[in-house]
Structure 1
Amino acid sequence: MTVITVTAAQSIVDVDARLRRERTRRVLSAAGWGLLTSLLTLLTVGVLWVGVLWLSGVSPLIAKGPVDVWRYLFVVPAAAANRELILGNLAVTLGHSAIGFAAGLVVALLGAAAFQLSRGVEHALMPVAMLLRSVPLIAMAPVIIMIFGRDLWTVAVIGGIVVLFPALVNISFGLKSASAQMNDLVEVYGGGAWAKLRKVAMPASLPAFFAAVRISVPGAITGALLAEWLAVGGGIGGSIGGFIPQAQFTALWTSVVVVTVVSLLLYNVIQIVEDVVLARMGMRPQAA
């Protein structure tokens, strides 16, 4: 009897060790593929950039390539001042992006949870979200500025609107994809709608949540640029409007390139985190 018990215990330990090794392998594989994807994305963007400039034939005085951007940031005598300018603007834009991202994602999470708990709330509020999505922000911006002023509230509203709809749709879809059998099991044990949301729907929606975060980060940066350009000034969005009349085209291209690269990097960093977390949980990512 003792021999059988020891053998069974050893078998359990061996299975647990194999599972840990498999999870570690999947996590490392996901992280490796994420890094490779990031590098390939940046390389593809660079090739397309050079190709478009070559095919369009725009004057080199206006159109700047990767070499021009590199020289502006690291070679010319004023490179240190240039980096300070661009990175300072970038820091402001990322701060504005974080505000819009947080505002939009929190509202999307609360809205999706409310939709899951009550179909009446979904039928009442989803058309409002669709309206916000369909009306161009350029048209809504004057009204938003009049209501909230030219400060961080406007940044939160504009960035939140850009983030809200795609995040709300993705998270709502994820919550609805929960297993009906698991919901029935919770109900059998006396759980109500809130228990089913917390114990079944939320864990099942994790891939959809990561997909929402992935697409919301570039959207938040776009919303921040738009808010800076139209309302609050500062950052990359506000500075771009001043570079054009001053014919500072290298600074203009560098600003666009830097914010684009950061957006791509953040997207791929979230992709890596998503792959690692879902691999550890034995779940598959959802396409954005």
Structure 2
Amino acid sequence: MKKYKSSIIVSILLLIVWELLARYINAMYILPSPIKIVEKAWSLREVLFLVHLPATLSVTFIGLSISIVLGVALAIAMNLNEKIQNAIYPIVVVTQTVPVTALAPIFVLWFGYSIWSKVVVTTLITFFPITVNVYDGLRSTRKDMEELLITYGASKKDIFLKLKLPYALPYFFSSLKIAVPISVIGAAISEWLGAQSGLGYFSKRMMTQLDGAGVFAPILILSLAAIILVAIINFLENKTIKWRNEV
């Protein structure tokens, strides 16, 4: 907790400034105060937590799961074969140059307002950091250690499982810390552009009613969900990569 003390203090100061500024402007539909946002979230807790949050988390988890499988598979394939790397890597980069807001309506046209139009958007923006980071992790192994294992008679499979994979694990968890908040954002954006449920959809509905606190309440829940998920990843990372603290 001590290492987060500075962050907590800065966050509290920013909230105080926000509260004072909101009271000075005195226009709830433009800038609601943090207290009003919390009050709104609490008053709408049943519909937000029991209806819209599960819908957004479903999109997030499915899209993130697909991204993990796809990203790791592409990274391994590119690491194993240089021709595959030359063919796939530019395409992976190009997928990130097209704005998601431009593609989301197309996915809605293809898949309708079902969960899959939103899953595709979430997958599209999250598989890139996983692919690139895991690929860099697999390439980060020291050549002298590879050569040492080869002299001991290790096969390519042994080198991958006992050397490259452990080296890539920190990169994998780092990519998840990037992908998880992005997946939450991607799910919300896709719901803004076309959905019948979800926190993004609810925020958009509140905007049409000029309810500033109602717009920010789902955003608050999205932020808390992302923070909790990243904290879980940090916990799993510390439990999985114990050797990093020993070197």
Distance 1:144 1:194 in 2: 39
Alignment partner of 1:64 out of 25, 32, 57: 32
Structure 2: runs of 5 or more not aligned:
none
2:175 to 212, 229, 235: 212
Give the 3 Å change call, closer, same or farther, for CA 185–100 of structure 1 in structure 2.
Answer: same
Distance in 1 (alpha carbons) for counterparts of 2:184 and 2:68: 13
Is residue 226 of structure 1 aligned with residue 203 of structure 2? no
Compute the displacement of 1:147 (Å). 3.3
Selected match of 2:13 from 32, 47, 52: 47
Alignment of 1:79-228 (within 5 A): 79=43, 82-88=44-50, 89-228=52-191
Cα shift readout 1:130-179 (whole Å, capped 9, x = no counterpart) = 11111111112233333333323222211111111111111111111112
Q: Distance in 1 between matches of 2:197 and 2:167?
A: 41
- Alpha-carbon distance, 1:208 to partner: 0.6
Counterpart code for 1:249: G
User: Kindly tell me: are residues 253 and 142 of structure 1, through their superposed partners in 2, closer, same or farther at Cα, counting changes over 3 Å?
Assistant: closer
Q: Find out whether 1:281 has 2:236 as its counterpart.
A: no
| Offset of residue 42 of structure 1 | 5.7
Aligned to 2:206: 243
Superposed CA RMSD in Å reads 2.4
**Equivalent runs, 1:266-277 vs 2, <5 Å:** 266-277=229-240
Q: CA deviation at 1:250?
A: 1.9
- Partner of 2:89, secondary structure, is helix
Following superposition, the deviation at residue 40 of structure 1 comes to: 5.7
1:42 and 1:261 in contact (8 A); partners too: no
2-side partners of 1:196 and 1:91: how far apart? 42
CA distance in 2, matches of 1:96, 1:165: 17
Tell me how far apart the structure 2 counterparts of residues 172 and 113 of structure 1 sit (CA, whole Å). Answer: 7
- Identity score, percent: 23
CA deviation map 1:207-246 (0-9, x unaligned): 1111011111101101111121123331101111111122
Q: Indicate conservation of the 8 Å contact 1:116/1:197, yes or no.
A: no
User: 2:220 — aligned with what?
Assistant: 257
What is the number of equivalent residue pairs in this alignment? 243
1:105/1:160 contact within 8 Å kept = no
Gaps of 5+ in 1: 1-31
In 1, the alpha carbon distance for the partners of 2:172 and 2:47 equals: 35
CA distance, structure 1, for counterparts of residue 73 and residue 132 of structure 2: 12
* Residues in 1 aligned to 2:212 and 2:175: alpha-carbon distance in whole angstroms: 35
Contact map agreement 2:92 2:128 (CA 8 A) in 1: yes
Q: Distance in 1 between matches of 2:229 and 2:9?
A: 16
**Bigger radius of gyration:** 1
